[in-house]
Amino acid sequence: MGTSREDYAALLPTVQGIVHSLNVATTDGGSWVLRADEECTPYFHITNAAKSAELLISTEYGKPERLVINGVTPRGKDRQYVRVYEQGADGSGWTEFKFSSISVATKRGAEAIAKEITRRFLPDYLKAVSLTLERIARDENFEAQRLANLQACAATLNEVINPPYGHNTRIEDRTEFSHYFGANCSGIRVECKASANDVDLKIENLTVEQAKQVLALAKHLALPRNPA
């Protein structure tokens, strides 16, 4: 699947007409724009910044008389593809939400192709974009809260979470750290691992008396997980 330079030049007026027709049909804000740097790429890229949408249009493999319309969803951390899920209508189970590309004959003309895109492609594609943006926002909020919890714990030891290393502290991808109380890493060792909701501690190299004190403190601090 792709568009040769010759096909690109021949199809450009049609794609420009598709963009115009999409903008005529768009009533909920945002505008569709054909990217201008297309000469060396196999796709026409049509973007709508307000919708975080990017359509890809190319000729169908082995069928230059047909156009294939696909789309790109926003990328998450490290530009990774984000999977999104939707709960069933009956409230049972979650399934991955996907959209499908469509194929339309070029001879139908720009206005008809734009109508097919609006009717057959955009509803599921834009829903996938919306679900992806929501997932990315949740993930970013989770990561921010987890880091805040980790920093709060590190601050009690006068440590700063500043990858890759803090003084006397080993940082593990901004989700956990370890700390030694004692010279030459021979004293009590604490591992602190944070999530967005709580913190797990692992304490090593305690004497029996120290362990008893820690357990007594834990008993004192213990609260029911699900109070009545």
The predicted-structure confidence for 166-218, as pLDDT tens digits, reads as follows 444 444 456 788 888 877 767 898 999 988 899 999 999 999 999 999 999 98
Residue 170: per-residue pLDDT: 45
Phi then psi dihedrals of residue 96, to 5 deg: -65, 135
Q: Are residues 112 and 181 in the same domain?
A: no
Q: Are residues 94 and 134 in the same domain?
A: yes
Q: Residue 19: which of 48, 40, 43, 42 has the closest Cα?
A: 48
Q: Are residues 69 and 164 in the same domain?
A: no
Q: Show the low-confidence residues of the chain (pLDDT under 70).
A: 1-5, 37-41, 161-174, 185, 223-228
How many CA atoms, within 13 angstroms, populate the side-chain half-sphere of residue 81? Answer: 6
Residue 39: per-residue pLDDT: 56
Residue 75 CB contacts under 8 Å (≥ 6 apart), including other chains: 81, 82
Q: Are residues 111 and 201 in the same domain?
A: no
Residue 204 within a domain: yes
Number of structural domains, the chain?
Answer: 2
Domain boundaries, position 15: 5-143
Q: Are residues 9 and 62 in the same domain?
A: yes
| pTM of the shown model | 0.78
Residue 71 CB contacts under 8 Å (≥ 6 apart), including other chains: 53, 54, 55, 56, 99, 101, 121, 125, 128, 129
Counting beta carbons within 10 angstroms of the beta carbon of residue 182, is it exposed (0 to 12), middle (13 to 18) or buried (19 or more)? exposed
